[in-house]
Structure 1
Amino acid sequence: MTHPFVYAAYVEYWLMLALGIVALALEVWAVVDAARRRPEDFLRAGIREKRFWLMLTGGATLIGVLGVLGPFGGLGVLGLLAVCVAAVYLAGPREQMNLYSGGRSGW
């Protein structure tokens, strides 16, 4: 007979993996949006330059990929930090640039 905690561990694994995939989607959205913006949009909005946000969101995306494809699946402490970086970009700089560029991204 299988112990009930085994089933709880399976549920936890799949739940964390699903959360990791959602977080990875946010991170990819953030890095793609940052890459599509023109460098002038960052300066016009009065925020850090494009290279800074590309490095942050790119690192966050790398951590997200490693979290989803890694042996443990889902989010760890680094995964939480990575999704926070993506969320900060999407809620802050992205919205500021939309105000100054009329909602369009660079291409």
Structure 2
Amino acid sequence: MDFLQLALMIEYGLQAALALVGAGMVIWAMADAARRSGDKFENHTNLTKSTWLLILGGALIFGLGSASLTVLYGGQIGLFGLASIVAAGVYLAGPKREFDMWSH
């Protein structure tokens, strides 16, 4: 095995790991948003629950699609996969944090 093959194997492993972690983030964000009551969204965020579910639903579709293509075909995450990870990160760092901070 030469150096180029080793580098490509490492790159594929990193891309697949990032895609799977991103898909997990999107699933976590969607599950968390779905179980919260609509009143909490209106009290603590500028967007309604249905808006967040729409954003995270699109992120779920593109995130899982991108992750499956990355893992199965050895591709790269791509722009839509990265955007879905960012959307989930924004929800987890913003509204979810607000909900958890005020629930104690």
TM range (shorter): 0.7 to 0.9
Cross-structure match for 1:75: 77
Gaps of 5+ in 2: none
CA distance in 1, matches of 2:19, 2:76: 4
* 1:64 and 2:63 correspond: yes
Q: Residue 6 of structure 1: CA displacement?
A: 2.1
Equivalenced residue count is: 101
What is the DSSP-based 3-state SS (H/G/I as helix, E as strand, rest coil) of the residue aligned with 1:47?
coil
Give runs of ≥4 in structure 1 deviating > 3 Å.
none
Q: Give, as a single letter, the amino acid of the residue that structure 1 aligns with 2:32.
A: D
Q: Give, as a single letter, the amino acid of the residue that structure 2 aligns with 1:69.
A: S
Q: Residue 3 of structure 1: CA displacement?
A: 4.2
Q: Residue 30 of structure 1: CA displacement?
A: 0.4
Q: Is the 8 A contact 1:20 1:73 kept in 2?
A: no
Q: Is the 8 A contact 1:45 1:97 kept in 2?
A: yes
CA distance in 1, matches of 2:7, 2:74: 15
Gaps of 5+ in 1: none
CA distance in 2, matches of 1:61, 1:33: 13
- Kindly indicate which of the two structures has a greater share of residues assigned to helix: 2
Cross-structure match for 1:97: 99
Further displaced range: 69-78 or 90-99: 69-78
Cross-structure match for 2:88: 86
Cross-structure match for 2:47: 48
Q: Is the 8 A contact 2:67 2:81 kept in 1?
A: no
Q: Give, as a single letter, the amino acid of the residue that structure 2 aligns with 1:93.
A: P
Q: Residue 27 of structure 1: CA displacement?
A: 0.7
- Report sequence identity in percent: 33
Indicate how the Cα distance of structure 1 residues 73 and 25 shifts in structure 2: closer, same or farther if over 3 A, else same.
farther
